Structure 1
Amino acid sequence: MNDIYTVKGLNDNDALQLFSWRAFKKPYPEENYVELSKDLVNYANGLPLALKVLGSLLFGKRIDEWKSALYKLKQEPDRNILNILQISFDGLMYTQKELFLDIACFFKGKNKDDIRDILQSFGYYPNYNIDVLIDKSLITIDRERSLLMHESLWMHDLLQEMGQEIVRRESPEEPGCRSRLWLYEDVLHILRNNTGTEVVEGIVLNMPIEAKEHLSAKAFSKMKNLRFLKIGYVHPPQDLIGGPIQLPQGLNYLSNELRVIDWHGYPLKSMPTNFQPNKLVELRMHCSDIKQLWKGIIILNELKLIDLSDSRNLIEIPDLSGAPNLKQLILRRCTRLYKIHASIGDLKRLIRLDLNGCKRLESLPHKISLEALEYFDLGGCSKLKKFPEIVENMSCLSKLCLSETAIKDPSLLVERSTGLIDLDLRDCKNLSSLPIAICSLTSLKTLNISDCTKLDKLPENLGNIEGLEELDGSRTAIKELPSSMVLLKNLQNLSLRGCNFLSSKPSNKLLNFPLLQRRSLDSMGMSMLALSGLSSLTYMNLSYCNLQAVPDVIGCLSSLKSLNLKGNNFVSLPEDIVRLSKLEDLYLSGCTNLRSLPQLPLSVDYLGAEGCTSLETLPLRPEEDFHPHLYLLNCFKLNDNQDYSGMFLTMLRHYIQRNPSEIGSFDESARLIHYFSLIFFQQNLLHSLKDLHKGFVLRLKNACGSTYP
């Protein structure tokens, strides 16, 4: 059964106030407009959308214009809201109407900045006309629907329906005579039957994932004014290869008026020979069969974006010197691409160059002068061994990814990229040292050098990067940490997972720091002492580092929330760990030599110690307000300790006493097992639990996989 709800309108006072804010920019009407305002508010029937649109329409208008608007509205009393919306639309200028219809049919929900160049190419003057539509309450800017807080163009569903109905009325019977097509059935109708005409300006075809359509080579031949073309799937999987449209006889024609081609799985090796893309602004062809875009130089002054990601047959990029305004060139996972034309190195307005996953790419243009470049991704270009000559400083570059390349020395690139924020050098197997220039990157926030297996040291002046927030040196050959690391006051995340060459002896250089002079450097010391000044550190991963001991200075990490020490060889943790008042998660699994734990901070919510086979004692005191989630599977010596059987029994009893009404449910009992996650192979413990709650014990036995009766 479908429930139908009637939208309740505002009361008269609230409705008049809302209308007045739009019509007069204050909460009440002007003296000469009071009665007219009440009549119009009454006509709107208290509906907020109608009040906003109507008030915005009449703002700044004369009384005779108000009377004329009211007269028009009353001609069709049964279509109140639609009349209001239609009158507001009719009052727009031509370009504003066209912009409104494009948003209603194609661009609702799109990021305003992403489509600004497209709208400008249509002659819509978006910087001005978008504000006009906002002022008239026909569209809004929505930031809440975007995780990145982008400014998305949005409109009420009724306004969108009105815009689409206006387009449908252009030709109620034949879709091929409408300016805009977005419905699956309508688009397929004109493409199958070749009924498209010069009236058609925009097409969006989103097909089901399983759909395939074979079209004639003449499918687009009559659409001479087509300016917007988008073909793809409703929800395409990331690994989808191929597209929904097949052209077994090729393609004879595409409109030279096209500003946007967004064609997922374009099925041909090249564009139509008679296609002149001089007005093109965006070319997106993910997963296409394109082998070569065009030959020679073509004047493409309007072109801002090329995205041919996952085009597995693409072998080279043509001369782009005729596209001086290109902002983005995205060629991710074009696995046969081996050649980049030299002209790319001289694109002065290029902001993003993304060649991630181009496995056959061996070289770049000999010289690069990309002064506007902000994002440069060469990750996964495994045959790329050296970087070209940098002619101009790339001070705008904020993100640089060289992961999984064969580059040995990125020094020159780093020196010229003084504004770097994110530097990714993951899995550079030939990288044996970091450029000294890294220490001069005062804007750097993220440095990833994980899996650089030849890298055995960090620059001594690493602490000069005062803004560094994340450092991942996992699975490197680093032997000690530079003493200057104590200066990284903004470092929040540090991972040295799998660095099992870390020295067990402290560096003498550490003694130069006053904080460390106050602490003894005994046999438990190691280069981790360099971490003692990291007051902002919240996450630290030192798992599988072959640590024989953890120094007392760990207690200095006052902001630490998560500490991962899995798979190490220490016997105990320092008593100072109790000073970590913000610590929430402590990971100790696989520390087979660990015998005991010290008193832990009450803030700890998770304690994971699976497989700590030597663990005999715990710091838990059930009478205190300390009830972490415990994961103690296969802690066999702990299981043999009768004292802890009683202690856990007490903890369970306290929990059940606090939550007597919840224990009977299966979900709650399962949550309790998840909460404690203990396996005690002792029949006496299970029998003792029977005294607490019989149903709970049965669930405990089932959750533990027990065979006890």
Structure 2
Amino acid sequence: MWDDCEFYPENGIEVLLLMSFVKIGDNNELRMHDQLRDLSRDIVHQENFKEPGERSRAWLHKEASDILETHTGTRKVEALCVDFGLESHACCLTNEEFSDLSNLRFLQMGTMQTWMEILSIARKLKALNLTGCSYMVRTPDFSAYETLERLILEECESLVHIDPSIGYLKSIVFLNLKNCAKLSRLPVEFDSVESLTELLIEGTSIEEFPVGRGVMKKLETLSATCCGSLTQISTSISDLKSLSVLTFDLTKLPDSIGKLESLIELRLFGTRFTDLPDTIGNLKSLRVLDIDYSFIMKLPSTIGMLLKLEELHASHCYNLKGEIPSNVERVSCLRILRIDCTNICSLPTSIGLSHLQTLDLLGCRELQFLPELPSSLVIDETSMSVINYHCRRLLNTSIYAVLALVVLWDAAASLRLSLVNLADLTYTIVLNFFSLVNCTFVSLIACYSLGYILSVAF
């Protein structure tokens, strides 16, 4: 779209960011400062003070509706915003009102009964957002929109059929079908969509994903969570050589997943299978592995082969038991390890992870031993400087490792050792407490094995 408008965003947006006129939002949207918006509108207004139809943009409903109803629009109009709401005469608009707007690139409309007919003349359309068209059962004919790059059909709850003409969209790079709950299949003509880089089908009833038909060679992002009818995926998923972000919640993951050489993020939140294939160790580019809330029972021994892995999330995997594979020490890039609320009983004897910053063990009730931990660990500012282990089976011998780590965190304002199997507070441990110069709160709730506390500690 930028190229078609002969804009150069790489340099321009960077300058605007530095001047604080625009910023990039959480969802990668471009947000504009009010002053820049007003300045831009003033520039457009100066294009022609008297005739809105001679300007490049019309954002006020009254001006936009006048352009359409009086047929005063010209080739200069590139963007139009109109919202008739519940006004009955909105239904009277047809192609004729848009016939002179041959360079229209952006059209925003509210409640319109004739939008499909009107869109048929928008030959240069780059983006089409039909979010929330709850009564649309079938998509319009896309054959007229060969330059369309982004198609958003999110929350079209009645949609059951995508028109076969989607195969004509040779330039499309983004397709959003999120929460189209009645959509159960993609048309065969989808095979012809070769330019697609991002596909979101989460919350649909799609039963089969069209891999293995020699399509979507450029696909980089695929999200298919909450697809209850999509229980497994073809081994041909390995054909998606450009795939870098994959999000699934299937009942089975094929061994061929290990052939996705470009995969950077693998998110399997809430998956129903119990084992990860050993071939996952072949994902040499993988940086994020997320199996939160899954039924995984153990981590594969090949996890130590993921040399570029930076984040491992396994929170609330209640079936995850036993030990963390010792070769995890080889993953030297690991920054985040979250295994909270699991039944892991031990960590490797020595965690030689020089870049590890976050280690979450909250609620690991079966954890019996803490090894020597790296000094790279830091307190998360959002945790209010609270160190909370809550590990019921943590043995007395390992409490020294806990307190040695606490000394590194001299910013800690609170120390909680609730449910730790601590037998006593010896003189050595008291000396460690004294190192916590900022600590104002100590909790030993439910340390049932605690026999005595030296009075010097307080």
Normalised to the residue count of structure 2, the TM-score between the two structures is 0.79
Query: Relative to structure 1, is the Cα distance of residues 313 and 589 closer, same or farther in structure 2, using a 3 angstrom cutoff?
Result: farther
Q: Output the CA distance in 1 between the equivalents of 2:44 and 2:144.
A: 38
Q: Output the CA distance in 1 between the equivalents of 2:31 and 2:317.
A: 45
Q: Output the CA distance in 1 between the equivalents of 2:114 and 2:245.
A: 37
Question: 1:291-330 alignment to 2 at 5 Å?
Answer: 300=123, 302-330=124-152
Residue equivalent to 1:260:
105
Query: Relative to structure 1, is the Cα distance of residues 271 and 581 closer, same or farther in structure 2, using a 3 angstrom cutoff?
Result: same
How many residues in Structure 1 have an aligned counterpart in Structure 2? 427
Query: Relative to structure 1, is the Cα distance of residues 225 and 630 closer, same or farther in structure 2, using a 3 angstrom cutoff?
Result: farther
Q: Output the CA distance in 2 between the equivalents of 1:157 and 1:324.
A: 31
Shift of 1:642: 6.8
State percent identity of aligned pairs: 19
* Partner amino acid, structure 2, of 1:446: E
SS of equivalent to 1:373? coil
Gaps of 5+ in 2: 380-385
Residue equivalent to 1:285:
none
Decide which of 248, 251, 255 is 1:436's aligned counterpart: 255
User: Do residues 598 (structure 1) and 408 (structure 2) align?
Assistant: no
Decide which of 582, 596, 618 is 2:376's aligned counterpart: 582
Q: Is the 8 A contact 1:498 1:542 kept in 2?
A: yes
* Partner amino acid, structure 2, of 1:598: Y
User: Do residues 146 (structure 1) and 26 (structure 2) align?
Assistant: no
Shift of 1:480: 2.2
Shift of 1:351: 0.8
Query: Relative to structure 1, is the Cα distance of residues 246 and 156 closer, same or farther in structure 2, using a 3 angstrom cutoff?
Result: closer
Q: Output the CA distance in 2 between the equivalents of 1:389 and 1:555.
A: 40
Shift of 1:589: 4.7
Query: Relative to structure 1, is the Cα distance of residues 587 and 158 closer, same or farther in structure 2, using a 3 angstrom cutoff?
Result: closer
Residue equivalent to 1:669:
none
Residue equivalent to 1:479:
297
In terms of fraction of residues, the more helix-rich structure is 1
Question: 1:444-593 alignment to 2 at 5 Å?
Answer: 444-453=263-272, 455-504=273-322, 526-547=323-344, 549-570=345-366, 572-577=368-373, 580-585=374-379, 588-593=388-393
Gaps of 5+ in 1: 1-113, 120-124, 198-218, 233-242, 281-299, 505-525, 650-709
Query: Relative to structure 1, is the Cα distance of residues 613 and 151 closer, same or farther in structure 2, using a 3 angstrom cutoff?
Result: closer
* Partner amino acid, structure 2, of 1:439: G
Query: Relative to structure 1, is the Cα distance of residues 158 and 338 closer, same or farther in structure 2, using a 3 angstrom cutoff?
Result: closer
Residue equivalent to 1:340:
162
Query: Relative to structure 1, is the Cα distance of residues 165 and 550 closer, same or farther in structure 2, using a 3 angstrom cutoff?
Result: same
Q: Is the 8 A contact 1:638 1:644 kept in 2?
A: no
Query: Relative to structure 1, is the Cα distance of residues 617 and 442 closer, same or farther in structure 2, using a 3 angstrom cutoff?
Result: farther
User: Do residues 223 (structure 1) and 69 (structure 2) align?
Assistant: no
Residue equivalent to 2:55:
179
Residue equivalent to 1:419:
242
Q: Is the 8 A contact 1:335 1:357 kept in 2?
A: yes
SS of equivalent to 1:576? coil
Q: Output the CA distance in 2 between the equivalents of 1:159 and 1:497.
A: 48
Residue equivalent to 1:163:
43
Q: Output the CA distance in 1 between the equivalents of 2:167 and 2:236.
A: 14
Q: Output the CA distance in 2 between the equivalents of 1:177 and 1:346.
A: 32
Q: Output the CA distance in 2 between the equivalents of 1:352 and 1:158.
A: 31
Residue equivalent to 2:197:
374
Normalised to the residue count of structure 1, the TM-score between the two structures is 0.53
Residue equivalent to 1:652:
none
* Partner amino acid, structure 1, of 2:302: S
RMSD: 3.9
Question: 1:604-683 alignment to 2 at 5 Å?
Answer: 604=409, 609=416, 611-612=418-419, 614-615=421-422, 619=429, 621=431, 626-627=436-437, 633=443, 635-637=445-447, 643=453, 646-647=456-457, 649=458
Shift of 1:475: 2.3
User: Do residues 271 (structure 1) and 90 (structure 2) align?
Assistant: no
Query: Relative to structure 1, is the Cα distance of residues 220 and 529 closer, same or farther in structure 2, using a 3 angstrom cutoff?
Result: farther
Shift of 1:377: 0.8
* Partner amino acid, structure 2, of 1:147: I
Q: Output the CA distance in 1 between the equivalents of 2:116 and 2:433.
A: 79
Residue equivalent to 2:383:
none
Q: Output the CA distance in 1 between the equivalents of 2:424 and 2:142.
A: 69
Q: Output the CA distance in 2 between the equivalents of 1:473 and 1:321.
A: 41
Shift of 1:331: 1.0
Query: Relative to structure 1, is the Cα distance of residues 460 and 335 closer, same or farther in structure 2, using a 3 angstrom cutoff?
Result: same
Q: Is the 8 A contact 2:286 2:306 kept in 1?
A: yes
**What CA deviation, in whole Å up to 9, does each residue of 1:96-147 have, x standing for no partner?**
xxxxxxxxxxxxxxxxxx5443x3xxxxx557xx99xx9xxxx994243333
Shift of 1:452: 0.9
Higher relative contact order (CA 8 A, sep 6+): 2
Query: Relative to structure 1, is the Cα distance of residues 603 and 162 closer, same or farther in structure 2, using a 3 angstrom cutoff?
Result: same
